[in-house]
A and B are shown apart, each in its own frame.
Chain A
């Protein structure tokens, strides 16, 4: 085409050879001059001319400045404009826009740019009415505006924004397309606005705020709101997941909007933000999102035809808001409304006529943005006041006309109503501040906001979170928070619970919300110094969810479980320290036991189980749940489903089929275990099953002297490379080494793979050949396809080949077996005694079965011992705060008390050490029996077969009691914790009994420790950490005795202590009022549900800890192997002790260290002798006698008495030794 044009032209003009030269531009200028009218004929020529001009100009910009001078001199831009004005159609328009695009994008010379912009031609082009129905014109036009907006800065802004005429075409023309049907156009508009806002020019920004902000934002908010209504509609009508694509688009769109709004807020233009926040809150977030929370609840008014969405959707949307937006004023106000309810709404409801009633409403803007902007377009300066102020936003525009101060006043009035009408007085100073300071610098704003809040909370008598005077937390008058809390109850499913969790999590993580406000609803976050004051109601609901997740057939999805765990940690864990009350901790422990139990049911000794187990662990570690990503997923907006056919991620739906149920059980186990360890501030010692650190890595140099090496040639399948290697088979890994050139007998590792992933097969043609494939430990289940090694191993002869094959196969088997055993230990599955499974035979290199069993059992199944540890630390800290002054004196006193008792402990430990280990075990088991015995003696009808059962149940009772006790203690000492009315009843029932039991346990520790000093064990870890707390507990109990209210408890003990059947007494004292049948029942079958109920504090569904075979078996086993376990336990990581010691205070260091030993040995004895829950019976209940005596005598008589007490301990325990043996026999019988 062009060549034709050239021939056509050649006669008329001389065309320069070089297309990039001044001459060529002159030639083109000439062309333009001759073709000022666009016609059919010259159209193509003009297009090419325009295109060439842009090319030459850019060339000139980069190479020859005279080109640009010529362009400006001839004012060639005016040609452009003239062509446009001829309405010559798309063809020229697109070319012009492209030319301009290229010009503005590629010009780097700033002066050139200024010249281009200087004569207002560009603005004329911007306001030109292109044919925007043509999508290509639209695309080029908006790209042009975007290119210009990218060139904006403090200097160039004046070419676009005319201060005198108040004209800013670039911006106003762009925002007209804010709701264009094309996504790309909308994005460009957002980019342009952000680029404009970013320019720091006061006059321009004032213009934007006064003239365009209100109309733009109100229209934008309306646009967003309508999207939300669509989204809601989509959710309502799509129970079958049919329009998932559309839904996810709508969700993504909403996210885009939120991110956009957040980006605006983040630019930090306070004055503009005020307008935006006003519109967002009053026209969208509060009326549409928050008000919808209570829909279909009691607040719902059928006549109310205000637009709303379903409460599930609003929960989802609000969590997105809080996850994305962190702007202080916005989130603070929004959270305030959610927490405290909207008094404005409740008060003005029914008075629709009142002028303010319409303020918070989601409704269409009075007129379209384009119209408003047209009206605003300044022909003359004073016309703009004309638009009648329909609605708030227009009002704001009108008022801000004269100066900005009035604007803030109106704004503040809104804030007023946002918070509460009753606070008007409190707010007046702020309005003054604001109006005085036109620019409204942010510090001022901050401080006033704070003031306002404080004023607010005082006036409204809302708990301001001041730790000294906490008011009870209730959900009364908090309709929205109540809805959120209620959503946490997973009755049928966890559909809304997940969103409620995410919302609370997001609120807790939102930096914009002040801690004061959060303290008002007792939601501690990372920022709180202490987490003593957590919201019990909330925590209890979280625990319910966790408990539910651990049950079979649970409707709680993995994601829900994980978010509840996150939220729980956020509420109660701070810097590795848990503030969780003991009764709550006990519930978590219980849940952990349940999850273990449940996984035990799924446990199979099949290969696939191991793979799944490790895969899930990897998955959990590699892809931890990210709440923000979770809430980007539209699929969770639809009711939970179980089918993988929907393509929903596994953790966001219910499991389908046995395999997925197993996977879920594994994941639940990991999650709850991790939570429990975290709450107890322990580090994971057993997971992952493969410790990377212990593995041999490539390029390691190994001493292979005396190792079995098999030489072979490795032929890689893919690369066809051939290498001479030596095959070494480690217990876990397959290793290929190359001889080390430096040291004889050493080898350099060239390849390692896990034996468990090895696949070996022979070759039927070549007996010296093996096919070896080493699979990759996959990070996800779907990607098992890529083996890390796929090769043929060629050996020297077929004997070596056979040997290698056998070793690989055996090695694989053994490696897997070892891991299976590790899993069994984790799950407290005892090695089968009948020898049917090969794993019951101890394997060299494997640690003894009992050791891990007992240690883990004490974690999982003995909430008493573990929880007391957690509680010790927690309670003490609270106490210390409270009795800061009194503490020192009391501490010294307690040290006196402690000192001698320790001494006795040590002494008594040494003297009976004739057969330290043996003795220790027997003594503890004897104690276990004592209570049992007493229990049974009171119930003569019970046969000996039932003994084990009854002992277990009584142990449970005590443990349940002790848990309640802690609640009680907490209540007495820290009254603020007793705020939840719902759980009060439960707790008060168990208080008394529990208190006794706790004392009993403390005492038990005392008695035990004397005898088991020599015993050293893995358990030491736990008991180490126990000890300091224990010792402090005594301090605290001393202190508490000063409290007259508490006198009664020790007294009761004192009287009962001499009675032979002390447990009986305690149980009947505490239990008779409520559940006497437990006390006397000796049958295990009757008891287990009961005890289960006693354990679950909320009185919900009974926790079945049923499948009792495991405990009894493990118990059995541990008796048999107890001695070996002791010797195996020497591999104790020493750093544990230091961890513990950190928590101690220096002054007490000596004391507690020695206690450490004692208590450690005490617990040790316990757990070696009986692995599962039954072991608590012994130490915790039976030892009441001596210990309560000790502590009481401490109190009453002073330290002189103590030696006698310990003597008594010793004699008692030696008596019990025999009883213990008796019981062991019974245990043994009942097992077989």
Chain B
């Protein structure tokens, strides 16, 4: 996955978000949300696993000569003062098994549908992905459309307007991000979580029904809360300060 030659990482973002990250506040119970990242698979990647790593573990700084991604990541975030643990599962590599795709869609409350703005084919595939997602998933599933690699403006093949139009047409949230510069990565995931949280508040998602990809998380001891690596990877990101 040879990715773009981007600018230097924008580390400021992490500092602020690290400050925002609550260590342990309020009620111990938190909501666990399972979400998926979908899009053309990793081999000619659209960078979704990099996005995922970007979001879940801030200690990995985007560097121009390094491309790292993960297939699973979890992170604590706070929305309206409520602790929410966002677990994101990458669906890459499992497309050949219908049962797996099906199950994944059904078990998730949200999905990040990622395409690469420098490759039109990944954008053209969106319809298929979306159809798949809509068919198998719970109708309430929140889908965020992400145009990744926004730092490669020069090689852009898909206009931002096109992405916006597609999202509007299909009722998705839209954002352009860059795993390289970390632009909008935080926002993309948090907005998705917000939307899901809103649906929980509205009673659209039943928090007691785990099949939707939402559940009440177990109580964590404060000691553990202080040193999660993956789950609270954000609080390790303060090394830039």
Contacts and interface: CB of A to CB of B under 8 A. Distances in A.
A260 B104 CA distance: 12
Contacts of A54: 68
B224 interface: yes
A2 B213 CA distance: 34
A190 B66 contact: no
Contacts of A136: 74, 228, 230-231
A82 B96 CA distance: 37
Interface string A58-78: 110011000000000000000
Contacts of A256: 99, 102-103, 106
Contact of A94 (B63, B230, B236, B238): B230
A20 B63 contact: yes
16 contacts: A1-B235, A2-B236, A44-B227, A48-B59, A58-B66, A94-B228, A105-B69, A135-B32, A136-B230, A143-B72, A182-B210, A183-B103, A187-B100, A245-B206, A245-B209, A253-B211
Given A184-B87, A191-B100, A246-B209, A59 B229 contact: no
A3 B57 CA distance: 17
A105 B70 contact: yes
B69 A106 contact: yes
A191 B70 contact: no
Contact of B102 (A98, A184, A186, A259): A259
A135 B67 CA distance: 28
A194 B97 contact: yes
B24 interface: no
Interface in B54-101: 57, 59-60, 63, 65-72, 74, 87, 89, 93-94, 97-100
The 7 closest A-B pairs by CB, nearest first: A259-B99, A143-B72, A2-B239, A249-B211, A260-B99, A183-B107, A95-B229
Contacts of A260: 99-100, 103
A583 interface: no
B99 A51 contact: no
B127 to A, nearest CB: 16
Contacts of A1: 235-236, 238-239
Contacts of B60: 51, 55
Nearest to A58: B68
A184 B89 contact: yes
B139 to A, nearest CB: 10
A140 B69 contact: no
B99 A106 contact: no
Contacts of B63: 20, 59
A88 to B, nearest CB: 12
Scoring A95, A136, A246, A249 by chain B CB atoms within 10 A of each residue's CB, the highest score goes to A136
Interface string A595-617: 00000000000000000000000
A139 B87 CA distance: 9
A933 B188 CA distance: 85
A105 B107 contact: no
Interface in A172-217: 182-184, 186-187, 190-191, 194
A3 B241 contact: yes
Given A1-B236, A255-B102, A147 B71 contact: yes
Contacts of B238: 1-3
B218 interface: yes
A263 B239 contact: no
A1045 B205 CA distance: 73
Q: Which of B59, B97, B224 gathers the greatest number of chain A CB atoms within 10 Å?
A: B97
A260 B71 CA distance: 21
A252 interface: yes
Given A1-B235, A194-B99, 14 more contacts: A51-B57, A91-B228, A91-B229, A94-B228, A98-B70, A101-B70, A102-B68, A182-B210, A183-B211, A191-B100, A249-B209, A253-B211, A260-B103, A263-B98
Nearest to A104: B71
A190 B106 contact: no
Contacts of B32: 135
Interface string A118-160: 0000000000000000011001100100110010000000000
B34 interface: yes
A1228 to B, nearest CB: 59
Given A2-B238, A259-B102, A146 B71 contact: yes
Nearest to A6: B239
Interface in A869-884: none
Interface in A29-56: 43-44, 47-48, 51, 54-55
B70 A102 contact: yes
A194 B59 CA distance: 34
Contacts of A135: 32, 217-218
A187 B227 contact: no
B98 A143 contact: no
Given A59-B65, A106-B69, A3 B228 contact: no
Given A94-B230, A259-B98, A101 B67 contact: no
Interface in A3-42: 3, 20
Contacts of A263: 97-100
A328 interface: no
Nearest to B63: A20
Interface in B111-143: 135
Interface string B201-241: 00000100111010001100000100111110001101101
A646 to B, nearest CB: 15
A101 B71 contact: yes
Contacts of B227: 43-44, 47, 91
A735 to B, nearest CB: 26
A90 interface: yes
Given A136-B230, A245-B209, A3 B239 contact: yes
Given A135-B218, A194-B97, A140 B230 contact: yes
A139 B209 contact: no
Interface in B168-186: none
A252 B106 contact: yes
Given A94-B231, A194-B97, A106 B68 contact: yes
Contact of A191 (B97, B106, B230): B97
